[in-house]
Structure 1
């Protein structure tokens, strides 16, 4: 073998050795990367146990957005082990946490069981490549917050109108000081706006108290007295509108509740029935007891309520006929108060209405149930009290 052949052979041997070394090095790097990846997706000890005891939906996700570990409630939110995150915003929050730029909890929409829920998402990195997402359902809190915002906005708008009218009428009275007839006319309008403003503030306070779950002054309330009082309180309004109020149905029913709130709720229904009725028609107030439930119905022969409006008629400040409501001084809070007052007493309000045929609002409340001892105490309070005293003395002697 000559020198040229030896050199070629040596070159071949070197090439083979070089390739072999390169392959060994590459294999070592790949093995190291696999080991790093295996170590990175290993869930820290104890995380699974913690997630198993959580009431909120919580998941651990890897860099691909796949759920590695999930709490039991997570399945209800569509977060299942072995599947990717269902919402792009969740994946974005996970990437931000992995990069170290996670912020305070973020509220995101999440579709679950066919409905969209609002969830506050906490995202924190728990390993170089793993992120923990904790989802707390805040749908109800968001709804209440929106209701508060809408309530403040609507209240401000409603208060602005009579307040502005009072200011303008005050200026008009000042400018017409030399004309007694004009002053009297402006004064009547001023009084009407002041009464409207007072009614609005009173109803706002009542609704706020109902929504604040303040204790009610509960006692036994005779339905006959409740109905009679509400009718008498609105007799002048009915006479002015040339509408007759007719009382019918059963007598002797009893309710257990706050008489002031129940009277206001029934009064609001009667006032609305009169306001939305045509002259020479009548408003009926009927009572009946069905299966332990007292039903008080208020029926009118008015303009009726369109089907689309019926779904929103109990919302605060909602008016099916704004023009008529303005003319009659309506605040848009009467039916909202009815709904909340009845619900606070464990009842419900039902509505039947047809445009052009009239409407029927029915308050359904549990009937007051008394045992024999309670019945005797109500009929003969002194005698019952004496019996209780004798029983206490006998128990003490024993």
Structure 2
């Protein structure tokens, strides 16, 4: 007589030894991965597609005070921070994550990164308190040094201006005073740009309000035409939508003006430059396009670094400080926008920024 268990065993498909070995190998690898994740000092959490907790390591348990009974609960029951919720809901692909102060200790800073993991999500939380403090020290140092330099530079520029205006100045001194005047003016521009960059970085939240982009871009266009007098470019302003932005007009004006002035300075005389503002399916796009000499591919990814120059001699000759595009990058960061750079050597360049729909505003009615 055959028992039900014996019958079930007889009806089971026979598993090939090679399949068994493969399964054991996979299980062994998974065990090693979990052991490695448990040993990490950073918090690691595996989330289901409904945002519920599936698994976590010891660091996550300590950080979020998790217990076994918390499995299946929503991650938002433990991290109910607006910055995290906004990042989590907007995240579709791996990115740079979100920085935020700890909800338990404001002096502690965390970085959260969310990554798709099959049908689930992997959340990693790093303690970046030390890096945050070092970054804050760097910002404070730059701001303080810039402020300290401003006073002596103002004195130097004043005396140089007075001496240069003297009618009895010996001819062989004139060239020296001209060079000193040029260099102090250049240093003053660098200090001003550093101070502006420091203000943008330190002010984590700016006072946002409606910006009439038609009015702003017309103002930038008029300033560009005045600056263009010695270059002779053909500058065209193309506005395809009356939609405005919700943002900080002072900083946005500085960023967009930087892109336009750069196009004028780095395009050979008699070139063509187009400034445009157009609506897209994702928001509104600002662009500055020129038909200049273009940029080699190896330089494009580094253009927004502070003091990075493709040709240092040419930058100094045009009065560049090496900080313009760094300012642009930090201003656009306030709008969750990246500066897009497309360029072909010998053809020209296009610098653009796509502002998302959540920052777009129609003109308010009275």
TM range (shorter): 0.5 to 0.7
**Change over 3 Å in CA distance of 1:283–1:57 after alignment to 2:** closer
> Matches of 1:306 and 1:265 in 2, distance apart?
23
Match in the other structure for 2:58: 71
Given that residues 285 and 352 in structure 2 are in contact (C-alpha distance below 8 angstroms), is that contact kept between their aligned partners in structure 1?
yes
> Please, which runs of 5 or more residues in structure 2 have no aligned partner?
1-37, 45-56, 62-124
Number of matched pairs? 245
1:203 and 2:193 matched: yes
Given that residues 284 and 360 in structure 2 are in contact (C-alpha distance below 8 angstroms), is that contact kept between their aligned partners in structure 1?
no
**Change over 3 Å in CA distance of 1:369–1:312 after alignment to 2:** closer
> Matches of 1:144 and 1:249 in 2, distance apart?
43
Given that residues 214 and 239 in structure 2 are in contact (C-alpha distance below 8 angstroms), is that contact kept between their aligned partners in structure 1?
no
Match in the other structure for 1:333: 323
**Change over 3 Å in CA distance of 1:315–1:150 after alignment to 2:** farther
Cα offset, 1:329, TM superposition: 1.1
Match in the other structure for 2:183: 193
Helix, strand or coil: the match of 1:294? Answer: strand
- Within 5 Å, which residues of 2 pair with 1:29-68? 56=42
TM-score by length of 1: 0.52
Given that residues 218 and 257 in structure 1 are in contact (C-alpha distance below 8 angstroms), is that contact kept between their aligned partners in structure 2?
yes
TM-score by length of 2: 0.56
Helix, strand or coil: the match of 1:332? Answer: coil
1:313-358 Cα distance to aligned partner (Å, 9 max, x none): 1111111121110101111110011011011122221110112221
**Change over 3 Å in CA distance of 1:302–1:216 after alignment to 2:** same
Q: Displaced runs of 4+ in structure 1, greater than 6 A? A: 150-153
Cα offset, 1:233, TM superposition: 1.9
Match in the other structure for 1:242: 232
Match in the other structure for 2:115: none
> Matches of 2:354 and 2:348 in 1, distance apart?
20
> Matches of 1:218 and 1:303 in 2, distance apart?
37
Tell me which protein shows more helix as a share of its residues.
1
Cα offset, 1:258, TM superposition: 0.6
1:309 and 2:313 matched: no
Report the RMSD for the aligned CA atoms in angstroms.
4.1
Match in the other structure for 1:10: none
Cα offset, 1:147, TM superposition: 9.6
Helix, strand or coil: the match of 2:339? Answer: strand
